Each structure stands twice: as C-alpha cells, then as structure tokens.
Amino acid sequence: MLTGNYEQILRLISENSGLALEEIERKIEAKKAKLSGLISKEGAAQIIASELGINFERQKLKIAELLSGMKKITIMGKIIKMNRVVEYNKNGRSGKIGSFLLADDTSNVRVVLWDTNHITLIEDGTVKEGDFIELSGGDVRNSEVHLTGFADMKLSSKTLDNLQTKAVVHKKALSEMNVNDNVSARAFIVQIFGPTFYSVCPECGKRVFEANECAVHGAIIPKKNSILTLIVDDGTANMRAVLFSENIKKVTNGQEFDSVESFSEKRKELLGKEIILEGNIRKSKLSDSLEIFANDIQEINLDSLIEELESVKKKF
C-alpha cells in the first residue's frame, strides 16, 4: 500500500495556525528553496510549524502524522508484533532494548524501549502482542518512536478498527529518504556490481559458513543465494540498492546465474533501464551512506503510469 503523511502534516499545521493550506504550502516551498532543496517537504513543514509557534508536544497524534525530530509525542495503537528483548554491551555500557510494531488506523511504526521499567512490562507479560496501548512523552528518531525513562507506556481501554498492519510505503525522491523509511522510488539503473554468491541452509535460510553444515540443522545440501548491488539515480540523487535472489529473478525474467561471467550480457541489458524499487532504507556500516534493501522491483509499466498521472490530474 502506498501512502504519505505530508497531507496530514499540512492539515495539522492549518488546524493549529488558522492558515489556509495553500499559504502553508507556499511557505514550505520557500523554505525548501532557501535551503537549496536539501530538506524534504516533511522536514520543511516541521520548520514552518516551529516558526509559527506550533508545538506538537503532548498532542495526541496519529502515527501517519509523526515526523523525525518530534519530542514528547502521544500516540495510541495496537501492538501487532512484539520483538524479543535483546541485551547489549557496548563501549562499557550494558543494558536491554525492547521493541515492537505499533499500528493505528493511519499507519504503523516501530517503538524502541530503553527504560528498564518499560522493558519489565514486556518481560512479565503486562504489555503483550495484541494489546492496545497509549504512549506519551516519546521522541521520534529516524522514523521510530523511542521511549526513555521520561516517557510513559500504559494499557488503553480504547480500541481502533481498520488497523494499518502492512508496511506503509512512501513515494519519495532519493534525496528525501531517511533511515528506516519504507519507500517506493522510480529511478534509472546507472551501475551494477556483482552478483556475489553465498550458501544458505535450505531449511532455515541461515547463511552456511562451513561446507554442508548448518548450525541448527546439521548436515545439509546447501542452497546457493545471490546478491546484486545497483546504483540507481532519479535526478535528485543516486543511491545503492541491494537485491537478493528472489528480486534478482524479477529483473532477469526468472533466469538464474551461477557466476559473474554468465551475468555479463544481462548486465548490459539492465544498465540504463528505468525501474520502480520498493524497500527499506538502511545505513551502510561500511560507507555510512544510505541504501535501499529492496523487497520488490518492477520495470516501468507505461499503461499503469499513464493511469496514475490521469488520476492525479483529476484531483486538480
């Protein structure tokens, strides 16, 4: 499902300022131009809200209205996926981190718990998957809600219908993408690296480092998987996109390759091709730059593109 939160943000600013939507959009475009286009529309909207004296702290917001940088927000929703609590020991500091996926009727978001009191509520089953909860005092960082000891988490007597449980994908330019965004981008393939190959267990899919031996399933006949790295460009920026076996098949019409040499002709065919990528934005540990980990890839379909453009025209 494709959606975006820009319209909700405009509405929120309009309701709190009394300004017309058109005037707010003019201010946002002027702010983007002043900053040489180096900020997203959502980011510019947040600056405008601040300049208008609008403070979102303690306001009850929908998940789709959240923006990175917001402080002390209040949201309510249902826990649709509870992750296990993990322990960490880094740079002389140790502790636990909890997390879960929270959904309301507009979107969903990952919530990260740092406070031991909150984590205890998870560990002892007081707060569990399927519960409706209310969070207050949370901060939004990199498209996630983070709860520290100054935040509050409690069960809610309220419920919601029509929860948005699927990953919400935002159509964005490459230059506007942030860590943890689920995005859809239309871009051209300008470089290709790989493919590289590695062995996995056919039972659990985990990588196999020792020949024919899985740490979980013992002796196996390993399956070969592949990784293909693309550099894509949409005119606003370029970015590395990482494709795994199933999505590689989508750009090769199901054809499989077992070496870099056998892929050489297909490489020539793919270079310069326009595609639509859907995936999650992560930061590379090696280059410290953003990457798209693709979960879907499609070639441009002119018929569907024309239909989309026509539907946009009808709105104006």
Query: What total number of domains does the chain contain?
Result: 3
Note the pLDDT of residue 78. 97
Note the pLDDT of residue 312. 47
Residues 152 and 179 grouped into a single domain: no
Phi, psi of 215 (to 5 degrees): -65, -25
Structural domain of 149: 57-168
Residues 224 and 288 grouped into a single domain: yes
Residues 186 and 154 grouped into a single domain: no
Residues 207 and 162 grouped into a single domain: no
Q: What is the rounded CA–CA span in Å between residue 63 and residue 192?
A: 37
Note the pLDDT of residue 4. 46
Last residue of a domain, one of 105, 133, 168: 168
* pLDDT tens by residue, 171-193: 888 988 888 888 889 999 999 99
Q: What is the CA radius of gyration of the chain?
A: 22
* pLDDT tens by residue, 96-105: 999 999 999 9
Q: How confident is the model at residue 231 (pLDDT cuts 50, 70, 90)?
A: very high
Is the pTM higher than 0.85? The answer reads no
Q: What is the rounded CA–CA span in Å between residue 78 and residue 163?
A: 8
Q: With beta carbons less than 8 A apart as the criterion, state whether 231 and 240 touch.
A: yes
Residues 69 and 108 grouped into a single domain: yes
Give the residue with greater pLDDT, 4 vs 197.
197
Q: What is the rounded CA–CA span in Å between residue 64 and residue 247?
A: 28
Q: What is the rounded CA–CA span in Å between residue 80 and residue 101?
A: 6
Residues 9 and 141 grouped into a single domain: no
Q: What is the rounded CA–CA span in Å between residue 36 and residue 215?
A: 52
Residues 268 and 290 grouped into a single domain: yes
Residues 81 and 107 grouped into a single domain: yes
Lowest mean pLDDT among 83-92, 100-109, 112-121, 142-151: 83-92
Question: Residue 257: which CATH number?
Answer: 2.40.50.140
Residues 197 and 263 grouped into a single domain: yes
- Average pLDDT, integer, range 41-54: 82
CA angle 59, 65, 66 (to 5 degrees): 80
Residues 23 and 147 grouped into a single domain: no
